[in-house]
Amino acid sequence: MDQPVLYREPGASWWPVLWGPVFGLVGLGVEALTGAVFPLLWLLVAAGLSFAALVWVQGRRRLHGVLLTPAALHLGREEVRVRDIAEVSGVEPRAGARILGGGWTEPRGTGPVPVRLADGEVVLGWARDPEALRAALDGLLATRAPRRGEG
């Protein structure tokens, strides 16, 4: 049941995983200029740093990723069904509104996207490009058939 992706922010790119091998090569090069070389040591350093970066990137992708499909809005670890979203345009953020995604605050480097749910609750979504997410949600909500009780 694959859904088309209407909006996506991956949360992090994979390029930090290259920090380990680059650091290992630089260390190996500096050591080669100064005398004896221990390539196994630098290989272990590169592998260790790459593994740490891999864990960090995977965590950021899981916790800070944004995905909008016709069925659901995924923010970090949280999923909101599109049928549960009432509106996005003209919604003002409320003090103390619940942050979607499972965090205490919106992730650093993101902007708020206030969302009114079908039950009237206002929650805060977030994205690096909040206007693009808002526009994608507005477009999706405009094509949705009105529910009972709506004009």
Is the pLDDT reported for residue 70 higher than 90? yes
How far is 42 from 26, CA to CA, in rounded Å?
9
The pTM score is: 0.80
Contact indicator for 113, 125 with CB cutoff of 8 Å = yes
How far is 14 from 45, CA to CA, in rounded Å?
19
Is the pLDDT reported for residue 3 higher than 90? no
Show the tokens assigned to 103: 């965090």
Is the pLDDT reported for residue 148 higher than 60? no
